[in-house]
Amino acid sequence: MIKQYKVTVNGKLYDVSVEEVGEIIGGVHASKTVSTFVNPNATSNNSNNEKQISEKPQNSIPIDENAISVKAPMPGTILSFTVSVGDEVSEGQVVAILEAMKMENELTAPASGKVKSIHVEKGSSVIENQVILQIS
């Protein structure tokens, strides 16, 4: 069976066809092969897709090596932010909530300052040591 998907990667829309091939024995896949076909020249007339392509994701903001970074201590999902860009923060203030291993972890500001940039969106999955936001 071939399934069709439209996938946006780094602001570029792709048509993807996925074909699942396998033998079913007693209701269980004995072997499974997945073939993927990508059409990088896909175009869409859907205004929602065009909007997604035209908007730059927040994580495309360059990392400022001179700013203080709040990094993810472990892989997880950003549940919420308690600050916005331009807000003044104090050292130790909670700036975001990270869900990891079914627990909510508070991410705190390592120093006082002003929130310069937020590099991920609420609901984003992050990896260990990924920059979440920066303080100047």
Per-residue pLDDT tens digits of the chain, which is 136 residues long: 677 778 777 778 877 777 666 655 555 555 544 555 555 555 544 444 443 433 344 446 788 889 999 999 999 999 999 999 999 999 999 999 999 988 999 999 999 999 999 999 999 999 999 999 999 9
Query: How do the residues of the chain divide into helix, strand and coil, expressed in percent and rounded to 5?
Result: 10, 55, 40
The DSSP letter of residue 16 is E
Q: What's the predicted TM-score (pTM) here?
A: 0.56
Q: In sequence order, what are the residues at sequence separation of 6 or more whose Cβ sits closer than 8 angstroms to the Cβ of residue 46?
A: none
Q: What is the pLDDT of residue 52?
A: 40
The DSSP letter of residue 61 is S
Which amino acid is residue 35, in one-letter code? S
Q: What is the pLDDT of residue 112?
A: 96
Q: Which residues on neighbouring strands pair with residue 15, listed in sequence order?
A: 6, 39
* Torsion sign across C-alpha atoms 112, 118, 122, 124: negative
Q: Which residues on neighbouring strands pair with residue 31, listed in sequence order?
A: 23
Intra-chain end-to-end CA distance of the chain, in Å? 53
Q: What is the pLDDT of residue 114?
A: 96
Complete DSSP assignment for 67-120 = SEEEE-SSSEEEEEES--TT-EE-TT-EEEEEEETTEEEEEE-SS-EEEEEE-S
